[in-house]
Amino acid sequence: MISRKEFLKQASLFSAGSFLIGPIAGLNSKSDISPAVTILYTNDTHARLDPFPSNAREFAGLGGIAQRASLVKKIRSQNKNVLLLDAGDVFQGTPWFDVYGGSVDLKLMTEMNYDAMTIGNHEFDRGPDGFAEAARKAGFPILASNYFVRETPLNPFVQRQLVREIDGFRIGIFGLGIRLQGVVDRGLYGDVRYFDPIQVSQRMVQSLRIHNHCDYVICLSHLGYSYNDDKIDDLKLAKQVEGIDLIIGGHTHTFLDAPVSVENSSGSKTVITQMGHSGIRLGRVDVSLSDSSETPEIYSRYYTVGRQE
């Protein structure tokens, strides 16, 4: 079993849209990495199933779920161990949602073999019943560790955490949602109850690492990257909770060209990343083990969906 050590000692620019993160005495080039697992991810796709039109003022021709699916398929053909994750707000933003209420999005994500998503605030835009109806099309787990949904229509479709084992490497995944009060109309989230993300994350890390023997822990967060007040965000979460290796964020539509490393009081570090909105980017993190160490090393990059890479 692989132990978690302090493995983020240096973050250096590798090329445009590509970053190598590893120990100081670690990798020197992309070719040195033989991934144990490739993690692909999206956030805030907002029902953007079609690419932006060619005459759009911004992002012309970019995005679109068909182009994303083609890119994911190509990456899977080159890497046998791939996880595909989403950090929420799959719903709302185009007529696809207005007509189909998110069911088409979740059906197509299922066909793409997504492994998990977390819940964004816009998933409640048609209330718990509407969300539950769409969730019937999701052939993958919907994760929400800090939402209590037991007394709602969402209960059959939501779980707190997920463990995937790949070639003996155990990956634990949990999801966090934003405080719904003040963001979502009270009538739209019904009896869904919100709990403090810091306390919940501490329990999730303990469960995944100690009880489920996970080597690597991922948080799918729809909290938002950074706020100027005391509202919890990904930066504060990483600083206050030890044991999260990777936070895949959403909600604030932040385009992070490079992953951000945050150190907490124990000296361990967490990597934060987020891919903007509308499916314009597909993020990628390769997690590997060096020959001389049990310390995970990661190589991170992103793809612009619809642009030749």
pLDDT given for residue 194 in this prediction: 98
pTM summary value = 0.89
Structure tokens at 33: 């990495």
Q: What's 92's domain CATH number?
A: 3.60.21.10
Q: Is the distance from CB of 81 to CB of 38 less than 8 angstroms?
A: yes
| Domain total in the chain | 1
pLDDT given for residue 25 in this prediction: 23
* 27 band by pLDDT with thresholds 50, 70 and 90: very low
Distance CA 35, CA 57 (A): 38
Judged by average pLDDT, the poorest of 17-31, 83-97, 168-182, 261-275 is 17-31
Report if residue 172 sits inside a domain. yes
- pLDDT-above-90 percentage for the chain: 81
Q: Is the distance from CB of 167 to CB of 36 less than 8 angstroms?
A: yes
Report if residue 3 sits inside a domain. no
Report if residue 7 sits inside a domain. no
**pLDDT greater than 80 at residue 294:** no
Which secondary-structure segment (H or E) carries 273? Answer: strand 269-273
* pLDDT tens track for 32-57: 455 689 999 999 999 999 999 999 99
Report if residue 28 sits inside a domain. no
**pLDDT greater than 70 at residue 289:** no
* pLDDT tens track for 197-231: 999 999 999 999 999 999 999 999 999 999 999 99
Distance CA 43, CA 31 (A): 28
pLDDT given for residue 286 in this prediction: 95
Question: Which positions ≥6 away from 297 have C-beta within 8 Å?
Answer: 7, 21, 22, 23, 26, 27, 33, 287, 288, 289, 290
Report if residue 8 sits inside a domain. no
Range of the domain at 289: 15-21+33-304
* 7 band by pLDDT with thresholds 50, 70 and 90: very low
Report if residue 102 sits inside a domain. yes
* pLDDT tens track for 141-179: 999 999 999 999 999 999 999 999 998 899 999 999 999
CA proximity to 68, closest of 89, 40, 30: 40
Report if residue 164 sits inside a domain. yes
Mean pLDDT rounded to a whole number for the chain: 88
Strand order in 296-304's β-sheet? Answer: 10-15, 18-22, 296-304, 281-289, 37-42, 82-86, 116-118, 142-143, 158-159
**pLDDT greater than 50 at residue 86:** yes
**pLDDT greater than 80 at residue 23:** no
Distance CA 255, CA 237 (A): 19
Most confident of 11-20, 22-31, 220-229: 220-229
Report if residue 171 sits inside a domain. yes
